[in-house]
Amino acid sequence: MITPSSAGKTTLLALVTLFIAVLDSAVGGGDGHEWGYDDHNGPKKWAGTCKSGLFQSPIDLKQSISHLRNFEPLVFFLYDKPANVTMKNNGHTLKLTFEQSCVAQMAGGGLPAAFSLAQIHFHWGSEHTLNGRRYPLEAHFVHYNHKRYDSLGAAVGKEDGLAVLGVFYEESSEEADNGIVDKLLEHLARVSDEGAEFKMTSKMRAEELFPEDIDKFFRYRGSLTTPECNEGVLWTVLEKTVPISSAQVYMIKSFPRQIFACKSSNTTSLSGFEVYLWQ
């Protein structure tokens, strides 16, 4: 049963405001982006590697076609440390950056190195699917190999340059509102304009965005899912999902597609992809 909380009502208001803001900018002559998620500039129109690449993400993950591996467990450093977080509407997605004196890292799990967390962002409508199933929300934790490259930008498109962690959020009728998702939804109105930033008023731990257990995960080499769609990305996608409430899914689905959207798989055959499932 869903009892709309006062936070929910605030969020609904925020949504209306956001929607009007987006309409405004559309009427006012477009957002100036070369790529987006509309018919005229969406994934079907993306060029270069996005079209011709051989290892393009996302893909449909399946236990049945995956090679089972016993990687050592994933290890997360400083994901448990409360940090100041800035939310940003970059015109394509909601992006979170963590301000920490020492940067959070992901390692282990068969990764060739430790990778530093650069940003977290969201796709409303998951990009990866699990056994053909699309979830309402997918978070991407973007990391780069800081031993080999100075910055995220320098690591893009390089062998072993990027490691992205994908987490699915699943609708659950029994669940209460997911606290951390509510916190994000609640502040969205503050970043309704493209380029707008908002420093969250309370600290957040990156691991709050994780499911209960992170033991099982898929691993494969793919690409970024936004132009230039650079390949060489080491993907880790957790098999376990994070439950969110039906009310939250409803709110997420009401967002305008041009800000929060996803690239669907254009991979008709998974031959060539080596997908591993750790268990």
Ligand X SMILES: *[C@@H]1O[C@H](CO)[C@@H](O)[C@H](O)[C@H]1NC(C)=O
Active site residues: 92, 121, 123, 127, 140, 225
- Site for ligand X contains 161 (CB under 6 A): no
Residue 243 tokens read as 């439950």
Other C-beta atoms lying within 10 Å of the C-beta of residue 66:
20
Taking the complex as a whole, the smallest distance from the CB of residue 261 to ligand X amounts, in Å, to: 14
- Site for ligand X contains 48 (CB under 6 A): no
Residue 156 tokens read as 């893009």
Tell me which of Zn ion, ligand X, none is bound by residue 267, counting a contact when its beta carbon lies within the kind-specific cut-off of 5 to 8 angstroms.
none
List binders of ligand X among 70-129 (CB under 6 A).
84, 99
- Site for Zn ion contains 140 (CB under 5 A): yes
- Site for ligand X contains 222 (CB under 6 A): no
- Site for ligand X contains 266 (CB under 6 A): yes
Q: Coil, strand or helix: which one is 251?
A: helix
- Helices (DSSP H) in the chain: which residue ranges? 6-27, 49-52, 152-155, 179-187, 246-253
Of the ranges 43-51, 117-125, 145-153, 169-177, which one interacts with ligand X (CB under 6 A)? Answer: 43-51
Axis-axis angle for helices 246-253, 6-27 (nearest 10): 10
- Site for ligand X contains 51 (CB under 6 A): yes
Taking the complex as a whole, the smallest distance from the CB of residue 229 to ligand X amounts, in Å, to: 11
Q: Coil, strand or helix: which one is 117?
A: strand
Residue type, 58: P
- Site for Zn ion contains 146 (CB under 5 A): no
Residue 25 tokens read as 């900018």
Give the 3-state secondary structure of 128-150: CEECCECCCEEEEEEEECCCCCC
- Site for ligand X contains 215 (CB under 6 A): no
Number of residues lying near Zn ion (CB under 5 A):
1
Tell me which of ligand X, Zn ion, none is bound by residue 140, counting a contact when its beta carbon lies within the kind-specific cut-off of 5 to 8 angstroms.
Zn ion
